[in-house]
Amino acid sequence: MYSSPGEGADPLRVLDALDQAADVLGVVSDGEVVWGFSSRMVSRRVRYGRRAAWLRVLEASASGARGRLWEGNEAAEKAFGDLAGVRPALLNLFDWAEGGAAFRAELIAYVDEPVCSASARAPEGFDPGPRWWSTLRSALETVGRARTERVTVRQDWVDRAVPRFVGVAAPRIGGMVPAHGDLHWASVTRHGPHIVDWEAWGLAPVGFDAAMLHTYALLHPDVAARVRREFPVLDSAAGRVAETVVLAQLLERVSEGLDLDLADALRERVAAVCGRL
């Protein structure tokens, strides 16, 4: 999340939509405006009766108001609910169209605790204790048993990306299970834990979430080692496939000028993982 809008649609139109959604859903603004990665998504804390909630509005073209990211939170609510409080529940939903644009307002349970890191990368020395890890594992196991046709990682993308960015032949994905799909250290809170940002969830290689959490911890070997201990799947053949896919994703980001501080660690990990595929 960002304090100012990036490139995208007209930010004033999205801010107007945020106010309109608050009126329709009967909530009162109670926090600063927070932007997503573009000016097509904006959020803020609100008061929903006597409780705090999070109001988010997304904008798309009228023809683009469908698909994985648009429907992710709604699909998660139907598939596995709030995961015993780990996933912030979707409290209400409102769709409308105006001036050739479509809008979706989502009212989400508010999580009043900080995420582990302001970026996707692991914080140094993070050691939350066994209950934190067991709660995280249990929630992800529940997600993994859900029924869905949503797809987060596709074999055709793996076939293109792994040779290009990792430099080895693309592995075949032997098993696909539902996953959060974007599980890094800015999508998990420090104390609950709570897992936020479920827009991208769907079918992915076995061990995909654990592999992403581990890969974003490579700069802090103690944290990375803890992830591996808590998720033994990473030392299996399926886990190594998942890790290879995540490495391809992150190296693609490096090629786009993102996560450059991870570049050396990612290449070192490629040598370790791909020698065992």
pLDDT tens digits, residue range 16-70?
Answer: 999 999 999 999 999 899 988 666 889 999 999 889 999 999 998 877 667 677 8
Q: What is the pLDDT of residue 195?
A: 98
CB-count burial class (<10 Å; 0-12, 13-18, 19+) for 89? middle
Q: What is the pTM of this model?
A: 0.90
Distance CA 55, CA 93 (A): 10
3 state DSSP class of 40: coil
Q: What is the pLDDT of residue 36?
A: 81
Spell out the SS3 assignment of 176-212.
Answer: EEEECCCCCCCCEECCCCCECCCCCCEEEECCHHHHH
Is residue 276 predicted with pLDDT exceeding 80? no
What pLDDT, in 10s, does the model give residues 137-181? 999 999 999 999 999 999 999 999 999 999 999 999 988 999 999
What pLDDT, in 10s, does the model give residues 176-230? 999 999 999 999 999 999 999 999 999 999 999 999 999 999 999 999 999 999 9
What pLDDT, in 10s, does the model give residues 226-262? 999 999 999 999 999 999 999 999 999 999 999 999 9
Q: What is the pLDDT of residue 5?
A: 44
Is residue 2 predicted with pLDDT exceeding 50? no
Half-sphere exposure of 101 toward its Cβ, with a 13 Å CA cutoff?
A: 16
- Across 76-105, average pLDDT: 94
Is residue 277 predicted with pLDDT exceeding 60? no
What pLDDT, in 10s, does the model give residues 3-17? 444 455 577 889 999
pLDDT band, residue 99 (cuts 50/70/90) = confident
Q: What is the pLDDT of residue 1?
A: 45
* Domains of the chain with bracketed CATH: 11-109 (3.30.200), 130-274 (3.90.1200)
E strand or H helix that includes residue 106: strand 101-109
Q: What is the pLDDT of residue 98?
A: 87
pLDDT band, residue 93 (cuts 50/70/90) = very high
Mention every residue, 6+ apart, whose C-beta is less than 8 A from residue 258.
none
Mention every residue, 6+ apart, whose C-beta is less than 8 A from residue 112.
52
Q: What is the pLDDT of residue 3?
A: 43
